[in-house]
Amino acid sequence: MNPEHDTPGSAHDEARRSFLKQSSLLTAMALVPGPLVQAASAELDEKVAAVFEKIPLKLEVNGIKHKLSVEPRTTLLDLLRENLNLTGTKKGCDYGQCGACTVHVDGQRVNSCLSFAVMHEGKKITTIEGLADGDKLHPMQEAFIKHDGFQCGYCTPGQIMSAVACIREGKADSEGEIREYMSGNICRCGAYSNIVAAIQEVKGGGQKV
């Protein structure tokens, strides 16, 4: 059974209702002229702001269920890094252009900087911290070590998450195909040759990824 982490006072069952209520309020405020919005927000004290800004969210990260209260503007990336202390997922551009923030959402690779956390209600997220089986590394992690598929290591979690998905998608049948389907993950250190070698080894090994 998975452990369950509760955030006090999140009232998760009311999530949808209160989200709708708040989002209509936000929509309404968006239609009000700017100065009025500023004046209104200026009067909000911290407590009101906290309640007003936050939305309940339930999701599962690396097998752990979380009940959270998050701002709608918080990206999945920032939620992982700043709220859940899962800093293995990296911020490299915030525009979905570099792939450093790649995670799996219900098994699919996703740029976590390009999606808001609240879009993932009820979903299962896997980050680099959740890829290994306890102390036993995932074959892709082992292959990256063996082939030295990194230098500084900053793009590495994203490369590995993307590489696993690339094989699962059936897009790792040739060197050319791997290069094409891994091109969303930039490595400025330029370890591309070694990353491709690692992926080819895992693919060729036929292990379940």
Partner 1 sequence: MNEQPKPKKQIGAPMNRVDARQKVTGAATYSAEYQLPNMTYAVLVGSTVTKGRLTGIDTKAAERAPGVLAVITHLNAPKPPSPKPEGKDPSQPQTQGNPLQVFNDDKIRFNDQPIAVVVADSWERARYAAGLVQAQYAKEAHQTNLEANADKAFLPTAAKKNPKHPMNDYQRGQVDAYKTGAVKLESEYVIPTEVHHPMELQAITAHWEAPDRLTLYDKTQGTLATRRDFAKQWNLPEENVKVIATYVGGAFGNALHSWPHESAAILAAKVVNRPVKLMLTREQMFTMVGYRPYTWQKLGMSATPDGKITGITHESIGQTSTYEEFTEATLAQTRMMYQSPNVTTRYRLAALDIGSPIWMRGPGEATGAFALESAMDEMAYLLNLDPLEFRLRNYTDEDPEKNKPWSTKFLKECYKLGADRIGWSKRQLKPGSLRDGDWLIGYGMGVGTFGAHRGAATVGAQLLPNGTVLLQCATTDIGPGTGTAMTQIAADTLGISPDKIKFELGNSSFPKAVTQGGSSTVNSVGPATQEACLALKDKLRTLAGAAFSTAKAEDITFEGGQTVMRNDANGKLPLQIGLRNNPSVKVSYSDILRQNGQQNVSATVEAKPGGEGQKYSMYSFSVHFAEVRVHQLTGEVRVSKLVSCADAGTIVNEKTAGNQMKGGAVGGIGMALMEHARIDDRFGRYVTKDFADYHVPVHADSPAVEVAFVNQPDPHVNALGTKGIGEIAIIGVAPAIANAVFNATGKRIRELPITPDKLI
Question: In the complex, what is the shortest distance from the CB of residue 100 to partner 1, in angstroms, rounded to a whole number?
Answer: 6
Number of residues that bind partner 1 (CB under 8 A): 67
Q: Which of 107, 122, 146, 173 binds partner 1 (CB under 8 A)?
A: 146
Residue 186 binds to partner 1 (criterion: CB under 8 A)? yes
Contact by Cβ (8 Å): 144, 169: no
- How is residue 111 written in tokens? 């740029």
Which segment (10-18, 25-33, 104-112, 123-131) binds partner 1 by CB under 8 A? 123-131
Residue 139 as a binder of partner 1 (CB under 8 A): the answer is: no
Query: What type of residue sits at position 167?
Result: I
> Going residue by residue from 93 to 122, which x/- string records binding to partner 1, judged by CB under 8 A?
xxx-xx-x----------------------
Choice between 17 and 52, CB closer to partner 1: 52
CA 75 to chain centre: 8
The closest of 170, 160, 156 to 203, measured between CA atoms, is: 170
Judged by CB under 8 A, does residue 10 bind partner 1? no
Q: For Cα atoms 31, 34, 40, give the angle at the middle one, nearest 5 degrees.
A: 90
Question: With binding defined as CB under 8 A, does residue 68 bind partner 1?
Answer: no
The verdict on 193 binding partner 1 (CB under 8 A) reads yes
Which of 8-16, 23-31, 151-159, 201-209 is the region at the interface with partner 1 (rule: CB under 8 A)? 151-159
Query: Phi, psi (5° rounding) for residue 197?
Result: -60, -40
Residues that bind partner 1 (CB under 8 A): 38, 41-42, 44, 46, 49-50, 53, 71, 73-74, 78, 81-82, 85-95, 97-98, 100, 127-129, 131-132, 137, 141, 144-146, 148, 150-157, 160, 175, 178-180, 182-196
